[in-house]
Amino acid sequence: MAAISVTGLISGSFDWQSVVSQLIAIDSAPITRLQTEQATNNDKLTSLSALKADLTSLQTAADALKADGLFTGRTASSSNSSSTWSLNAANGATAGTYKIAVTQLATQAQRVGAGNIGAPLATSSDVSGLTLANLRTATAVTAGTFTVNDAQVTIATTDSLADVFQKISDATGGAVTAAYDSDTDTVSLTSSSGDVLLGSATDTSNFLSALQLGNNGTSTVTSANALGTVTTTATLANAGLATTPTGSGTFTINGVEIAYDTSTDTLASLMTRINASSAGVTAAYDSTHDRLTLTNNATGDTGMSVVDSSGGLLASLGLTTASGATYSRGLDAQFTVNGGAQRTSKSNTLDATALGVTGLSVTVDSTDTQNITVKPNTDAMKTAIQSFISAFNTVQTDIETATKITTSVDNTVSTAVLSDNREVQDWSTKLRSLAFASVSGLSGTVTRLESLGIDFSSTDTTLSIKDETKLDSALANHPDDVASFFTQSSNGFVARMDTYLDKLLNEQSGAIATQTSTINKQNTSMDDQIATLKRRLEDERTRLTNAFLAMQTAQSTATTQLKTITDMFSSSSSSSS
């Protein structure tokens, strides 16, 4: 290195700080080399992490090939493309086509109570005390207007029924009169001249429909049914039943005892209690016909027992035979399979026992004849196999990319980040070997991937379905053989893949974990070396800086002294002259 002149320190022409930086930069070369090595290591870690993700996906795809029910899965379809039957084929269901002819659907047994269990609106023709707002009609009356013989009648819910009758007469000039018959519990509108004409498109009150008045074209129009109904939200003692029950008691339905108290229970709460019980029936109230029904929850020819144990409430509700209730038996479903003898089922869900077909269940909702085909779920099988092929090819492609060495036309050699990693290259080779090998000990038609029409590409290391017809045939006709090939516990295709992938992916002892740990240790060691070198360089920078500052101080002192001497000689010369 050439000698450094420091004569310009005082004048400032010598940039000694730059010299110090250059010297430190020269001595920093080892740090730069170590940082370059770390960057390369980090690239390797990134590449290994990506390959780990690929291998994990491959293992997931391989494990999916041994999922429960994959190769025993079945689908069921109907010959009727618009069928509303619900089909279910369980894993392992017997494959085949079954002609199911349904001639009768299963229905529920039902007890229909007597109608008009509510008391009449009034006990006489005098309805002056019946306010519209409180009428026990099936539909509550609303305020507004309605039309009689082209005359508009305006009512309020505070009007009595007698008030409305008077308004009808007034609006029609006495041509139409209204009356209530307590014996039939109906209202009649009578015209003194011609027919009664009811309603208009501009009506805003539902009075006419609420009182069931609608048969136009006659001189007298009468309510279609008795008007008085039960108030479901009032206590049973005050609900308006024709036979008013009192006190408390019990009754049983299908042997289940139901308790009630007429002073606190409403018809609505009683029905809720029945429906929530274990009696297995549903109670419902029909306001149009003012009656209760009990319907078995289950279909089929199953009886329904109703016993009015004490208190007589069921009789008041019209649910006893003596009070007029009627009972209709439920029906069993009737059907044949493949033209055989007639079969029956209490349910419309014809299960495997009813059909005599293992794993097949058909819920029918119409009388019809349909061919139901049960076959292996080849779509699910094929999708799982294709997913494995895709994951396998991703691993092969990414290993190739990470380890390749290329030579350009000018013979320039380029290397990938893991091109010197023979172990990673061996992963690709081993996986191909495992995929290509046959499974020993199998007696079926499938012993290797080639048996499924799957083989390696002729141009690279990836797998592909070479013969899709061969694959489809194996899945459709020999699913058990395919299952054995993939899922044999000791030596099957998936077991071998899993064993090898575990060696690569194990978090403690796997190949990727080992390589990653080694690289991380190298980086940690280089971190320590870089830190040591940086401390040394800082010490060197300090030493050089102090040296140059000392030189600068010394030269400054020498320059000052030289000037003083020069001035002295100049002064002495002047005096002599």
Beta bridge partners of 373: 77, 97
Is residue 569 within 8 Å of 576, Cβ to Cβ?
no
Alpha-carbon distance of 482 to 453, in angstroms, equals: 12
Kindly state the tokens that stand for 577.
């002259």
Closest by Cα among 525, 376, 502 to 430: 502
Domains of the chain, residue spans: 33-70+379-513, 74-106+332-376, 139-222
Is residue 488 within 8 Å of 495, Cβ to Cβ?
yes
Alpha-carbon distance of 10 to 164, in angstroms, equals: 123
Alpha-carbon distance of 170 to 153, in angstroms, equals: 9
Sign of the alpha-carbon dihedral angle for 453, 454, 455, 460: positive
Alpha-carbon distance of 407 to 414, in angstroms, equals: 6
Alpha-carbon distance of 259 to 268, in angstroms, equals: 14
Q: Which residues, 6 or more positions from 63, have their beta carbon under 8 angstroms from its beta carbon?
A: 494, 498
pLDDT score recorded for residue 4: 45
- How far lies 131's CA from each of 59, 124, 126, 143, 164, in Å? 79, 15, 12, 12, 10
pLDDT score recorded for residue 523: 86
pLDDT score recorded for residue 577: 54
Q: What is the 3-state secondary structure (H, E, C) of 330-384?
A: CCCEEEEECCCCCEEECCCEECHHHHCCCCEEEECCCCCEEEEEEEECHHHHHHH
- How far lies 157's CA from each of 65, 143, 164, 198, 349, in Å? 73, 5, 10, 20, 51
Q: Which residues, 6 or more positions from 288, have their beta carbon under 8 angstroms from its beta carbon?
A: 138, 225
pLDDT score recorded for residue 576: 59
Beta bridge partners of 147: 152
Buried b (16+ CB within 10 A) or exposed e, 433-446: eebeeebeebeebb
Kindly state the tokens that stand for 485.
């090939």
Owner of token pair 């022409």: 13
Kindly state the tokens that stand for 506.
């194990």
Beta bridge partners of 333: 345
What radius of gyration do the chain's Cα atoms show? 50
Amino acid at 427: W
Kindly state the tokens that stand for 195.
């027919």
Kindly state the tokens that stand for 167.
């308004």
The pLDDT profile of the chain, 577 residues, written as one tens digit per residue, is 444 444 454 445 567 677 777 766 776 678 788 888 888 889 999 999 999 999 999 999 999 999 999 999 999 999 999 999 999 999 999 999 999 999 999 999 999 999 999 999 999 999 999 999 999 999 999 999 999 999 999 999 999 999 999 999 999 999 999 999 999 999 999 999 889 999 999 999 999 999 999 877 789 999 999 999 999 999 999 999 999 888 999 999 999 999 999 999 999 999 999 999 999 999 999 998 999 999 999 999 999 999 997 778 999 999 999 999 999 999 999 999 999 999 999 999 999 999 999 999 999 999 999 999 999 999 999 999 999 999 999 999 999 999 998 877 777 888 888 998 999 999 999 999 999 999 998 989 999 999 999 999 888 889 999 999 999 999 999 999 999 999 998 889 999 999 999 999 999 999 999 999 999 999 899 888 888 877 877 777 777 777 777 777 777 777 777 777 887 777 766 665 5
